[in-house]
């Protein structure tokens, strides 16, 4: 409704609200409530179960960081798996790597893909790329059953609620490890260390149990819950802090570069303490 607000409650004592100019679309999909709204400050935004997923104004920060940190750690990522990411933003960024031969994108909710194509063409532009294999399927089942082996796997999931819940447990990370090549690596979004500390610790603990190299990196995502947003990388071989290729070779990027890559792994003491507490 024109002139109304959307309110996103994070805890019993903290909520955020955005003024919206219009509700462009609403529907109940098979899995979740989906809405596209036009906001006053952030442009068009996609909401799932009333939680903001992407906005036109700041989506590039999240999508560049969840994609390029891992893709630039691996020297030659030829086949990539994206689990989630039905809006297409992570796909768009991964496709900037010219050595990529194929990318499988597994999204459980087809309506996320279709609405992103309709309302966010600049974000969903990668869906027409010939290297893409789109699978409308459950990511947990796909990982268990696929015969493919991957250089990089990116889990671009929503919060650990509803259909995304199984993507945050040990068995899933063990299955991911099995379908990575001998030098493969995994990148996941691992929530806010401040507001969702238990989820953050749990993700780190489980990935660290499975992978020989586990590292956390951070980025500020303005429309996500306040403070730093975390990503966790599990690597079989390559040190996540070291770049195997120069980001400048990817063309123009709005946020990620070589300095940002290295700086993102410089963690403040309180987050280091959180990580040490789970080892």
Contact 103, 159 (CB under 8 A): no
pLDDT class of 277 with cuts at 50, 70, 90: confident
Mean pLDDT value across residues 52-65: 97
Catalytic residues: 156
CATH number of 5-55, picked from 2.40.30.10, 1.10.1740.10, 3.40.718.10, 2.30.140.10: 2.30.140.10
Residues 3-37: b if buried by 16+ CB within 10 A, e if exposed: eeebebebeeeeeeebebeeeeeeeebebbebbbb
pLDDT at 165 over 80: no
Contact 237, 214 (CB under 8 A): no
pLDDT class of 72 with cuts at 50, 70, 90: very high
Mean pLDDT value across residues 161-190: 87
- Topology given in CATH for the domain delimited by 59-276: Rossmann fold (3.40.50)
pLDDT class of 3 with cuts at 50, 70, 90: low
Query: Is 159 known to sit in a ligand binding site?
Result: yes
Give the single-character DSSP code of 124: S
Query: Is 138 known to sit in a ligand binding site?
Result: yes
Secondary structure (H, E, C), 242-266:
CCCCCHHHHCCCCCCCHHHHHHHCC
pLDDT score for 158: 61
Query: Is 220 known to sit in a ligand binding site?
Result: no
pLDDT at 2 over 60: no
Between these two residues, 5 and 65, which has the higher pLDDT value? 65
Query: Is 277 known to sit in a ligand binding site?
Result: no
pLDDT score for 233: 98
Q: What is the pTM of this model?
A: 0.95
Q: Please give the helix or strand (H or E) that residue 206 lies within, else none.
A: helix 197-210
- The DSSP bridge partners found for residue 52 are 47
pLDDT at 1 over 50: no
Query: Is 53 known to sit in a ligand binding site?
Result: no
What tens digit of pLDDT does each residue of 219-237 get? 999 999 878 999 999 999 9
Residue 249 CB neighbours (<10 A):
10
pLDDT at 156 over 60: yes
pLDDT at 164 over 60: no
pLDDT score for 99: 93
Query: Is 49 known to sit in a ligand binding site?
Result: no
pLDDT at 159 over 80: no
pLDDT at 107 over 70: yes
Q: Is 42 helix (H, G, I), strand (E, B) or coil?
A: coil
Report domain extents, the chain: 5-55, 59-276
pLDDT score for 248: 82
Query: Over the chain, what is the mean pLDDT?
Result: 93
Query: Is 139 known to sit in a ligand binding site?
Result: yes
pLDDT at 163 over 80: no
Q: In what order do the strands lie in the sheet with 43-48?
A: 5-11, 14-28, 33-39, 43-48, 51-55
Residues 55-64: b if buried by 16+ CB within 10 A, e if exposed: bbebbbbbbb
Secondary structure (H, E, C), 61-121:
HHHHHHHHHHHHHCCCCCEEEEEECCCCHHHHHHCCCCCCCEEEEEECCHHHHHHHHHHCC
pLDDT at 161 over 70: no
Query: Is 157 known to sit in a ligand binding site?
Result: yes
pLDDT at 95 over 50: yes
pLDDT score for 160: 61
Q: What percent of the chain has pLDDT over 90?
A: 82
Contact 110, 139 (CB under 8 A): no
For residue 43, the number of C-alpha atoms closer than 13 Å in the C-beta half-sphere is: 11
pLDDT class of 114 with cuts at 50, 70, 90: very high
Q: Is 182 helix (H, G, I), strand (E, B) or coil?
A: strand
Mean pLDDT value across residues 64-90: 97
Query: Is 107 known to sit in a ligand binding site?
Result: yes
């Amino acid at each position: 409704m024109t002139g109304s607000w959307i309110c996103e409650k994070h805890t019993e004592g903290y909520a955020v609200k955005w003024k919206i100019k219009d509700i462009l679309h609403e529907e109940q999909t098979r899995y979740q409530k989906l809405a596209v709204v036009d906001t006053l400050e952030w442009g068009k935004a996609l909401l799932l179960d009333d939680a903001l997923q992407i906005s036109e104004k700041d989506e590039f920060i999240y999508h560049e960081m969840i994609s390029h940190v891992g893709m630039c750690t691996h020297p030659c990522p030829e086949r990539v798996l994206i689990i989630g990411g039905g809006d297409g933003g992570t796909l768009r960024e991964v496709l900037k790597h010219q050595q990529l031969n194929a990318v499988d994108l597994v999204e459980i909710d087809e309506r996320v893909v279709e609405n992103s194509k309709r309302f966010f063409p600049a974000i969903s532009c990668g869906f027409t790329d010939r290297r893409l294999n789109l699978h409308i399927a459950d990511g947990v089942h796909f990982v268990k059953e696929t015969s493919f082996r991957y250089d990089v796997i990116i889990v671009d999931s929503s919060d650990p609620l509803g259909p995304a819940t199984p993507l945050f447990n040990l068995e899933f990370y063990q299955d991911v490890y099995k379908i990575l090549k001998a030098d493969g690596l995994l990148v996941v979004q691992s929530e806010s260390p401040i507001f969702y500390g238990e989820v953050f610790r749990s993700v780190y603990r489980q990935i660290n149990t499975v992978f020989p190299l586990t590292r956390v990196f951070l980025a500020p995502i303005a429309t996500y819950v306040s403070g730093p947003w975390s990503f966790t990388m599990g690597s079989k071989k390559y040190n996540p802090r070291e770049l195997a290729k120069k980001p400048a070779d990817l063309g123009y990027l709005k946020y990620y570069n070589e300095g940002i890559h290295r700086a993102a792994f410089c963690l403040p003491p309180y987050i280091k303490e959180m990580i040490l507490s789970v080892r």
